[in-house]
């Protein structure tokens, strides 16, 4: 059984290495991208800043840069009414990988997958603060405009989903609109 597993893993690695050295890696002229987004979900709203690094990796027709993001979240008031907490501050970093697939020369389908790591500072009705470590998973899908140059403005619209170990909410879904630039 082990030789079959090793053979499968070798074939998988070989197919990944073949996909990432496609000639399409020459089509993306930008090296870095910064995208700032406003999001509105059923449980939260806030802002997110994401940094993308062009690593010239391709998986079949998908361009896959790495990403790191910082997020500032405001939790909706109705979530506090259902809980034992008076207020909360929530912030986390997202480490992930992104996929871009061409629709046209400058328009892309975008899928982000990430792991959220951060802290929430909860204050209960007795004004006692409680700091908690949170972890979660996030994804977003959208349409992204990227110019064909090594610098220029970028625009994004899409939806997002996340699952967290927060005391106030465990999931969120919503819309996201962003703008940024490539450099």
The pLDDT value recorded for residue 30 is 85
111-150 pLDDT tens trace? 999 999 999 999 999 999 999 999 999 999 999 999 988 8
b/e map of 72-106 (b: 16 or more CB within 10 Å)? ebebbeebeeebebeebebebebebebbbeeeeee
Residue 9 pLDDT level (bands cut at 50, 70, 90): very low
> What value does the mean pLDDT of the chain take?
86
The pLDDT value recorded for residue 17 is 44
89-100 pLDDT tens trace? 888 999 998 999
């Amino acid at each position: 059984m082990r030789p079959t597993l090793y053979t499968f893993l070798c074939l998988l690695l070989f197919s990944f290495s073949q996909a990432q050295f496609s000639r399409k890696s020459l089509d993306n002229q930008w090296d870095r991208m910064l995208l700032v987004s406003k999001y509105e979900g059923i449980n939260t709203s806030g802002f997110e800043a994401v940094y993308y690094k062009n690593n010239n990796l391709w998986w079949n027709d998908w361009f896959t840069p790495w990403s790191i993001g910082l997020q500032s979240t405001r939790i909706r008031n109705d979530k506090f009414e259902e809980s034992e907490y008076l207020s909360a501050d929530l912030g986390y970093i997202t480490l992930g990988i992104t996929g871009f697939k061409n629709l046209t020369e400058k328009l892309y389908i975008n899928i982000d997958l990430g792991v959220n790591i951060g802290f929430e500072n909860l204050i209960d009705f007795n004004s006692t603060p409680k700091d908690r470590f949170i972890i979660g998973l996030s994804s977003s899908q959208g349409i992204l405009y990227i110019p064909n140059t090594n610098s220029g403005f970028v625009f994004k619209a899409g939806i997002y989903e996340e699952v967290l170990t927060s005391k106030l909410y465990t999931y969120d879904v919503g819309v996201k609109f962003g703008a940024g630039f490539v450099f």
